[in-house]
Amino acid sequence: MTHTTVAVIGGGPAGLLLARMLHNAGIDSVVLESRDRAYVEQRQRAGMLEQGTVDALRECGAGARMDREGLPHNGIELRFDRRAHRLDFPALTGGSSVMIYAQTEIVKDLVALQLDEGGPLLFEAQATAIGDGYVTYRHEGQEKTLTCDFIVGADGFHGISRAVVPSGRVYEADYPYSWLGVLADVAPSTDELIYAHSPRGFALHSMRSPTVSRLYLQVPNDTDPAAWDDEQIWDELDLRFAIDGDWKLARGPITAKAVTPMRSFVTEPMRHGRLFLAGDAAHIVPPTGAKGLNLAVADVVVLARALEHWRRTGKDDLLDDYGDICLRRVWRAEHFSWFMTTMLHLAPGQSDYETRLQLAQLHRIATSEAAAAELALNYTGTV
C-alpha cells in the first residue's frame, strides 16, 4: 500500500495536465491510466485550443513544442449558399485567437514531462474501486491499493469515477446524426477551419499540421466508416464545401476513418466527498463548438488552484466552490455547442422552414458585427 496526496484516475490531457500543475505547486500525485502508453499517445481527439488552454500549457512548462509546431488561427470561415464568410477573431474579441495543436501531441508532451520530472504515471493500471480516501487498482497482474487525501476522476464518460457519485442529476441529449472523420496525408486546403452548411449536410475542414488534413462529414447514426471509400469521401466533401469561385479541395491518401456520435451530457454535482470529476467524466459536448478538451483543461486549472490553496492555507473553501465554478463555464459551452450544431447540421426529415431558419441565423452572423462577435467570443473562450 502506498500513499499520495492526489490520486488521478485517467492519463488523458486532463489528468496529465493536473498532475503537472500539482507537481509545479509542490503537491504529490499518482496517475493511474488503464491503457498502455502507445494507445494514450495515439488516441485521436480534439485539436483546437482556446487561449486559456494555450496559456495553461505554457504556464506549466508544456508549451514549448506547441509554440514551435502549433498553428495559430485568427478566425474561422462559415460557408453557406455557396458563399464564404470569414470571422476575424482578434477584431471581434479584442485580440483573442485559437491554436491548432493535436491532443495526441499535448499528451506526448505531458507524458514526457511526467515521466522525467513528475510523480508516478502508471500505464495499464486499471482502477477497480474508489473509496473514502483510497483507490484500488490492478497493475502488473496484482491488486494494489493507493491511499490518498483526494481523488480526481479524469477517466472519461465510461470510467469508474462517474458511477461513484451518488444521487447525481444527469442532463443529456443525443443528436440524430454523427460525424465521419478522416485524417489525410495532404496539406490543408485552407489556412483556417471551414464550417460548411450545405443542402447535403454539414462538413468541416480542419488540420493537424501543415501536411495533415482533418476533415468531417455529417452522416447518419450507426454509419459504418468502411462503407465509405476514399473517392466517395472526397467527392462528398467537394460537394459540401462548394462555393462560387476558384477554391479547390486538395485530395490525398486517407490514413484513418472513424464515426463519432454527437451528444451532450452534464452530471451534477462534480464532487462527492474527496472525489472530484473533471473533463468527460462530468460533461460532454458535441464537437462542433470545439469545447471538449478546453472544458477539461478549465476544470483542472480550477481544481489545481483550489488544491494549492488548500495546501498553503489548510482551507477547503475553494475546493467547496469547484463544481459551481466549473459548471457555470460548462453550461455556457453546452449552449454554444448546441447552437453551432443545430445551426449547421440538417436533421433527418428537416423541413424547408427549419432550413430557412438556419440560413437566416447564418446570414445574421455574416452581416452583423454583434452576432459575429457573440460567436467569436464563445468560440475563443473569451466568455
Cα distances (angstroms) measured from residue 359 to each of 198, 243, 309, 362: 10, 15, 48, 5
345 is catalytic: no
d(CA 17, CA 182): 27
- Of 64, 49, 138, 141, residue with least CA distance to 99: 49
Active-site pick, 195, 197, 216, 322: 195
137 is catalytic: no
Largest CA distance in the chain: 67
Q: How buried is 68 (Cβ within 10 angstroms: 0-12 exposed, 13-18 middle, 19+ buried)?
A: exposed
Active-site pick, 23, 283, 291, 345: 291
Active-site pick, 23, 73, 197, 257: 73
CA atoms in the 13 A half-sphere facing the CB of 78: 25
d(CA 317, CA 130): 24
Residues with Cβ < 8 Å from 229, sequence gap 6 or more? none
d(CA 194, CA 186): 16
Element (H, E) at 56: helix 51-59
291 is catalytic: yes
d(CA 50, CA 39): 25
144 is catalytic: no
Q: What beta strand segments (E) does 154-190 contain?
A: 169-184
Active-site pick, 13, 188, 286, 287: 287
- Of 369, 289, 382, residue with least CA distance to 92: 369
d(CA 83, CA 43): 35
73 is catalytic: yes
What residues act catalytically?
Answer: 73, 195, 287, 291, 379
